[in-house]
Chain A
Amino acid sequence: MNRWLTRRWPAPHWPSVRGRGRTDAGALLLTAAVIAAVALLAGAVPALLRAAADNAVQDTVRRAGHDSNVLVHANWERDDGPTGGRFRISRLAEDVDDFRARATYTLGPDLDAALLPPIAVVHGPILNVTDGNLPRTFQLTYLAGDLEGPAVTWIAGSAPGPAVPEQSIEIPYDGPPWPVQVGLSEADAAALNLGPGDRIPVQDGQGRDKDVRISGIYRPADSADPAWRLAPALLRPVPGADGVGTTRFAGLLSRESLPDARLAFDEDQLRRTVHFAPEPDVLTWDATATLAGQVVKLKAASGSSGVRDQSLKWESQLDTVLRDARTQISAASAQAAVLLAGVLTTTVLVLLLAADLLVRRRTPALSAARQRGAALPDLGAELIIESTVLSLSAAAVGLALARAAVPGVSWTWTVPVVLAGAVAGPAFGTLVAARASRDRRQPANPAARRWILATGQLRRAAVEAAVLIAAVAAFVTLHRRGLLPVASAGDTGELTGDLVLPISAVALGVLAGALVVLRLLPAGVRFALRQSLRSRRPLAVFGAARAATTAGRALPLLALVSATALASFALVVGTTVARGLVDGAWNTVGADARLDVSVDAEAATPALAERIAAAPGVEQVVVAQVTDSARIFTESTLLTPRLVVVDTAAFQRLLATTPLPDAPALAQITAPGPGPVDVPALVRSSDGDLRTGTRLQLPRDGAPAIRLAAVGTAPSFGGASDVVIVDAAALADAGLPAVPNTVWVTGPGAARAVSNSGVAADVVLRADVLRAQRVAPLTAGVLRLAWTAAAVLLALGLLGLTLAAAASASERWQTLTRLRTLGLRPRDARWVAAGELLPPVVVAAVCGPLFGALLAHLTLGPLELRLLTGQATDPAAALPWWLFGLVSVALLAAAAAVVPVESALRRRDRLSEVLRAGG
């Protein structure tokens, strides 16, 4: 008969299971507590990250501002009249309404739900204000939401009306400028010094006069209405929008004056656009892939801009913004996964130590049971039932606690811990029971003994080689592939199977390092023993002898080195992010405080700077003219970098006395340029358009462009990807004196000094920026996880040390008791015990932080921490040596405490009992 048919099922002996459980309740509860605590962490972290991911998506979209808007353009229907002229389309505003409705319908329900109600904007071309010497521009703008445009109060005059009373009229193409009425904001009207009924002196790019009349002066009912953000010049003059030193004004069109605006310009010059701004509060991480995909589809389905029809032409950076958010979240998830993998690895090792301790305590009972005839399957079944119930229950408690704290917990990460808890004890216990009934005497034949030794060494070498190969493969994968999920159509943003290896790189690296140490430690201890044998100190000999006896034990050393190394790694991650945020804040603000002076107050900037410099606690004040999206031409392209015109010497001093990176190249822009009329400039660009040696032109209104020569690389500046830095004096010599609009201030009194500046200016404080970055959802989440992981790993290390000491205590005190029979004094016995315990602890305390630092150095690049810190480049690993010292000291202190505690516990044991127990 088939032996499988006759084999009986294991029959656990329940009284034994209960008895062992009662006897070892403490050790079992400790195991359960470890599993529950780590299950709580491993269950809660993915859920917390998911919640942080939603916040991060919303935060990123908010920060992106207009870049995340979805825009759609469409050409107008032709206005050719029946007699060869242009026809005034009186229903033009209704046409815009139809266009907006058509665009909204095309969006589809998902995008529609994620976007705010649309606002249609009609812009005229940029006109030049011809009155006065200052470069000023003017633009006609029409705004229309679902109901009306943004509400205004006419404080003088009235809303713009039609130019002619007739509804339908045809005008010749080459007729005089068609009149159009606009309203002006109070600020614009004051700056232009014009009022109702006045004609604004403007010309188009071809120098043709335009007949733009002011019907009235308005005051916005709500200046925070989102519609105004699409045309801020409708509220107040906007500096720099059309080039360095220019100021843009805008005139508000009404439904009635819109048809006239079309006739006032060439047929295609009036452009209509519908703006959909995202509603950040309704955006979720889950929806990002779908929304980004739909935006891409809309853009792909857009009609060609060259085709003269009324098809919709979509334009948006929302897909890029959402993709960037997803990338940032994926990076944070991967960083969290790396930290969690470290915690789980150490937990598994600590659980193996706990199982080892439990089985050592149970060895007499298990051996006796086996010798009395208990079958191994029965014993194994008893042990696995106990450990499975314990592990699953503990994990369930941990996950339940996690669920109470945050909904949507994940159990995936708890699997290794539960498996280790369920399997380790039964495996060790069954081996012990099997050994009890096996003749394990050493063979008399030396060749047989050598064979057994070689087999054991081969087995160990195979395991070690497997770990080393896995670690190398993990690092190669990490560096070649990175940690971010590969973008694909089915990308769910979850961590996929192909990421298991790179995510485990740090943990595998630590294990590989610990295995190397494990190989070296016995040799080191044997060397110490040889040295001590030459000494006259008996305690050193016995301590070293005990250490040499136990130095080959793998589990304690692996657990201790892993815990300290991974805790140190987590500390490096946390410190690097924290320091990166500080650097990022310096980079964003450029000083302790920055004043962005409004255009009205620009003239007062030098005096303001002097006043601030005299304030108490102010160390340095640097003024500059900073123009975002300045128009600069290369030989073939128009670029829009950030142009910084600054007093180079003062700027260099600022860089030298702050954590901002020094820029030795700045010295080059105070020297004469390569050509007689070239102004030297430093340049930086993300895509290589701006390189050293490039010739640039800075256009001016009514004057020849200023030639710039890129002579070096500009420092990273305020997070801008493209930067051009020019010396203020050199630019003034070339004919363009700077109008400073930015004041950088350093010193402890900087914040107070700029807050009391008394001019119209935006105040940006480094402390505020840093605070905002620190509380950003993903950054705060990863930082918190890094510190928590470090604390948990340290706690696991201390627990591992205690468990390892407890597991070897019986054997250690047997030996010490035998030494006591030779005359060793009780207090000397403690030194011998310390001598045994200290080597692996010292090795872990020294090598752990070094491994952590080394692994951080090797992996911080692929970890993409810059995505959290907002730095331009990957941050260098910040090594918190004093925290490393704390980790080491904690471990050494615990080891130092173990001996007296163990000694106090053993004091009650009579020597005779210890010897009797030891056989």
Chain B
Amino acid sequence: MSSEPLLRVRGVHRRFRTGPTVVHALRGVSFDVAAGSMVALVGRSGSGKTTLLNTIGGLDRPDAGTVHVDGTDVTSLDEDGLSRLRREKVSYVFRNFGLIPVLSAAENVAAPLRLARVTPAERERRVELLLELVGLADHARQRPAELSGGQQQRVAIARALAASPRLLIADEPTGQLDAETGLSVMALLRGVVESEGVTALVSTHDPVMMALADRVIRIHDGHLDEEATGQPDESVPDAG
């Protein structure tokens, strides 16, 4: 593992105003994640997990603080810069998969490669490889509706890996799956982190899933409360 963290979060605050009420979703969150690790982000509903993931991925902007991904200050990027970041360095896996229903599994996986203007031959090779990786080589021509929930999430993971991102953000990727399927999906994530060298930040409620992570970051009421599980991680969360 590299000593230089892939993800560096410093003093991130995020408030939401709902009428007269102000909700502090994130209160000065700081932590680093080393490249090639799998980090589980856990916490109760409303604790700030999704807000933190969105802020890291550039889907939301913090009120204060900075987020660096692979040396890029996410908080200072404009829309085009964020689009480039998402095309090249950060990818997402959502709870509800987010696949395009009229495209086949292979075409869904190829979507980021099309945006990145990858040549058809290279695209085809990469898609084949990724579907092989997630165990869906035989389902390449099937549409999402013809696949089970677990298979759809595997397609989503393959799609997330298509553009060879540095950071994979997964927001409760097993939220709509049964326990067994969820476990296999987490195992897959664990596997691709190791095989692809990607860094994964995964939010989850499931303690079993946490066991697969290199490290667990617990978030509570906008604050971090870290506990390390699985493989040791060199980075140390900032209490700030």
Contacts and interface: CB of A to CB of B under 8 A. Distances in A.
A300 interface: no
Contacts of B79: 825-826
B92 interface: yes
B83 A820 contact: yes
Interface stretch (A85-93, A179-187, A909-917): A909-917
11 contacts: A542-B111, A545-B103, A819-B111, A819-B115, A821-B59, A822-B159, A823-B83, A823-B112, A826-B83, A912-B60, A915-B59
Contacts of B59: 821, 910-912, 915
B107 A533 contact: yes
A826 B54 CA distance: 17
A306 interface: no
A910 B100 CA distance: 21
A538 B83 contact: no
B117 to A, nearest CB: 7
Nearest to A817: B59
A916 B80 CA distance: 22
A714 interface: no
B91 A822 contact: yes
Nearest to B50: A916
A826 B86 CA distance: 13
Contacts of B91: 821-822
Contacts of B107: 533, 541
A916 B101 CA distance: 20
B115 A915 contact: no
Contact of B116 (A820, A821, A823, A915): A823
Interface string A532-552: 010010100110010011000
Contacts of A919: 95-96
A541 B102 CA distance: 11
Across the A-B interface, the 10 shortest Cβ-Cβ residue pairs: A823-B87, A912-B54, A538-B114, A912-B60, A548-B102, A818-B98, A911-B59, A912-B59, A825-B83, A823-B86
A734 interface: no
A526 B100 CA distance: 14
Interface string B25-68: 00000000000000000000000001100100101110000000
Interface of B: 50-51, 54, 57, 59-61, 79-80, 83-84, 86-88, 91-92, 94-96, 98, 100-103, 107, 111-112, 114-117, 120, 159, 163
A824 interface: yes
A549 B100 CA distance: 8
A664 interface: no
A533 B51 CA distance: 35
Contacts of B112: 822-823
B88 A823 contact: yes
B86 A821 contact: yes
A129 interface: no
Contacts of B115: 538, 819, 822-824
A822 B54 contact: no
B62 to A, nearest CB: 11
A277 to B, nearest CB: 76
A822 B110 CA distance: 11
A486 B90 CA distance: 76
A36 interface: no
A536 B117 contact: yes
Contacts of A568: none
Contacts of A541: 107, 111, 114
A529 B102 contact: yes
A904 to B, nearest CB: 14
Contacts of B98: 818, 821
A420 B59 CA distance: 42
Given A538-B117, A820-B86, A821-B98, 12 more contacts: A526-B102, A529-B102, A536-B120, A549-B100, A822-B86, A823-B83, A823-B86, A824-B115, A825-B83, A912-B54, A915-B59, A915-B94
A915 B57 CA distance: 13
Nearest to B92: A821
A719 interface: no
Given A529-B102, A538-B114, A549-B100, A912 B51 contact: yes
A383 to B, nearest CB: 28
A815 interface: yes
Nearest to B55: A912
A911 B85 CA distance: 15
- Max chain A CB contacts within 10 Å: which of B51, B54, B88, B98? B98
Contact of B102 (A545, A823, A910): A545
